[in-house]
Chain A
Amino acid sequence: MIPGWEHFEHEADVGVRGRGRTEAEAFEQAALALTAVSVDPARVAATERVDVRCEAPDHELLLIDWLSRLVYEMAVGHLVFGKFEVWIDGGCLRGAAWGERVDPARHEPAVEVKGVSYLALRVGPEPDGNWVAQCVVDV
């Protein structure tokens, strides 16, 4: 389904993949896949907004920076996110993440993401014209 996200298999860690009609939408979906490693995004209330800005020399690194920034914001704010918006202009990304403070009883977080790896990293259009943004994250 477009837009949509999924996890793909990796023996020790987890692959996160977002698909969208645009690159920005694929980045938003990849962020949902990242969140879903830990919690069900549908169970997260969008009560707090965090703004993110990244700049990178290529769009694969831009994906790494976007997801790494979300890992950082989740860690220092003890947050979980359930909704994202992304705007990409050249090598610059502006993003917004909505979520709330993690509640172990309600969210049942499974595992924290330690970092975003460059393994299986891919950002680009697919033959059907939709965009994919993916990589493996370390848990």
Chain B
Amino acid sequence: MNTATLNRLDDWAWEIPKSGTMRVPGIIFASEELVGGMDEKVREQMSNVASLPGIVQAAYAMPDAHWGYGFPIGGVAAFDPQEGGVVSAGGVGFDISCGVRTLLTALSVEDIEPLRAQLADGLFQHVPAGVGSTSRLRLDERELTAMLNGGARWAVGAGYGQPADLGRIEQGGRYDGADPAQVSGEARHRQVDEMGTLGSGNHYLELQAVTDVYDPATADAFGLAVGAVVVSIHCGSRGLGHQVATEFARRMVIEGPGYGIRLADRELASVPIDSPVGRDYFGAMLAAANCALANRQILAHFVREVFERVTGDGNLSLLYDVSHNVCSLETHEIAGRRRDVYVHRKGATRSLGPGAADVPADLKAIGQPVLIGGSMGTCSYILAGTAASETRAFSSACHGAGRCQSRSQSMRQNRGEDVVERLRRRHITIKSRSLRGVAEEAPTAYKDVNAVVEVTHAAGLARKVARLAPLICVKG
């Protein structure tokens, strides 16, 4: 992106000034290098989002922002229903409530080493991953509806995990306001054998070593120490969420113009929050978000079963579970007034600072754990939410490294076998049913997650707590 056309607000924030149909400016959090590396399409997409009815304050882009469909990935935008604000299926994306969950183990890297092969094989065999994989679980209609209402709370009630887990999941493990009646028969049908599956693409299940601690007190409160091993799961609402997004994007494309919403791009299809289709979407989307929370809860249960069998200790406690593709109704102070707004985060993580209502009670004084996934060859980070993030970007932070290469570019440059071998030499075990998938997800296809996290920290969006390096990665 050409920085000459941006206003530099401070060391880490760049403004796309209001012009044309834009109702608010765009603000990008990035270093000069990161913003310079962003595609011009990011600017175009942010300007389009900034033109939507009822948007408040600004359209934001996180340091990992890249070109998406409609909204940029790494985008945050809030809409006020009192001002004709809209909700957009494209602003959440197809993988509703895709997110990251991190579990703590009682083991060290040294403990894991003799068990590495058994753990890698055990996880690969026990956790369904990849295209066409199916779950051992089958939910009937009644159970499916209960799951869509209850999220991870339903999963715990069904025997997957422990009640203590719920306190460490955003929204207490269940999004209020879900409306399962708005989830179609086809969306339900797609989920029949997908509960407790990882999916494919950039989804993963990783054993990770804590390599660095930046804030010892917070790391201690989070249960993290150098040399400790954690497990992270990255996935979402599977076929049910994909189908909900497909169906409502179509309805919004057809019905949106009837509300006088003029769009630069059909992918931005939006409808007023206070409209029949707006309300139906919001209820269906939250039901799909509950499906994602339940899915990650079940996957964690499978991981615990493997640890119990291989290490004799399946008591992995939950650090946190947070979505990065979701729209939620939140209260924020905007221009000196507290307002209820619908915040779309598409490839952005919530980052609540100390004292915020949804921060777990035992972490209230510290802030919410912010989980940032990297690529399978680099590293991931645990951060903590900040009070400053509230004024910066409605309490939001980045969600990962962000791609810098298309899948076909990455496949042209990498052979799957070579990627697996290169990582093996660095003591990273890759388990995947698809070597082509591994080539497309090669670490070189991603931006430098370290740079993204440095800017997130420096900009005050979240603060660094610990860095994680992959030991075993099960790819979908």
A residues with a Cβ closer than 8 A to B are 7, 9-14, 38, 57, 60-61, 64-65, 68, 71-72, 75-76, 78, 101-102, 104-105, 108-112, 114-119, 121, 136, 138-139
Contacts and interface: CB of A to CB of B under 8 A. Distances in A.
Nearest to B68: A12
Contacts of B81: none
Contacts of B409: 9
Contact of A117 (B70, B131, B408): B70
A7 B403 contact: no
A11 B132 contact: no
Interface of B: 39, 41, 66-70, 73, 90, 93-95, 130-134, 186, 189-190, 192, 199-201, 239, 242-243, 245-246, 249-250, 253-254, 265-267, 269, 403-409, 433-437, 440, 476
Contacts of A60: 266
Contacts of A10: 67, 406
Contacts of B243: 72
Nearest to B439: A110
B249 A118 contact: yes
Contact of B406 (A14, A75, A78, A105): A14
Contact of A7 (B94, B249, B408, B434): B408
A25 B437 CA distance: 29
Nearest to A119: B69
Given A108-B434, A111-B200, A12 B267 contact: no
A129 to B, nearest CB: 26
Q: What are the 5 A-B residue pairs with the smallest beta carbon separation, nearest first?
A: A109-B131, A115-B94, A102-B132, A119-B69, A117-B69
A72 B186 contact: yes
Contact of A111 (B246, B250, B437): B437
B406 A9 contact: yes
Given A110-B434, A111-B440, A112-B200, A11 B66 contact: yes
Contacts of B132: 78, 101-102, 104, 109, 112
Contact of B407 (A14, A64, A112): A14
A136 B41 CA distance: 14
Max chain A CB contacts within 10 Å: which of B131, B239, B266, B434?
A: B131
B288 to A, nearest CB: 12
Contacts of B41: 11
A104 B94 contact: no
Given A10-B67, A12-B403, 12 more contacts: A12-B73, A14-B408, A61-B250, A72-B190, A76-B239, A78-B134, A108-B435, A111-B131, A112-B131, A114-B94, A117-B90, A119-B267
A118 B403 contact: no
Given A72-B186, A109-B130, A118-B253, A12 B67 contact: yes
A121 B70 CA distance: 12
- A105, A111, A117, A139: which has the most chain B beta carbons within 10 Å? A111
Nearest to A68: B246
Contact of A112 (B201, B246, B408): B201
Contact of B201 (A7, A108, A111, A117): A111
Contact of B190 (A11, A65, A75, A111): A75
A109 B133 CA distance: 11
Contact of A64 (B67, B190, B201, B250): B250
A102 B242 contact: no
Contacts of A115: 94, 242, 245-246, 249
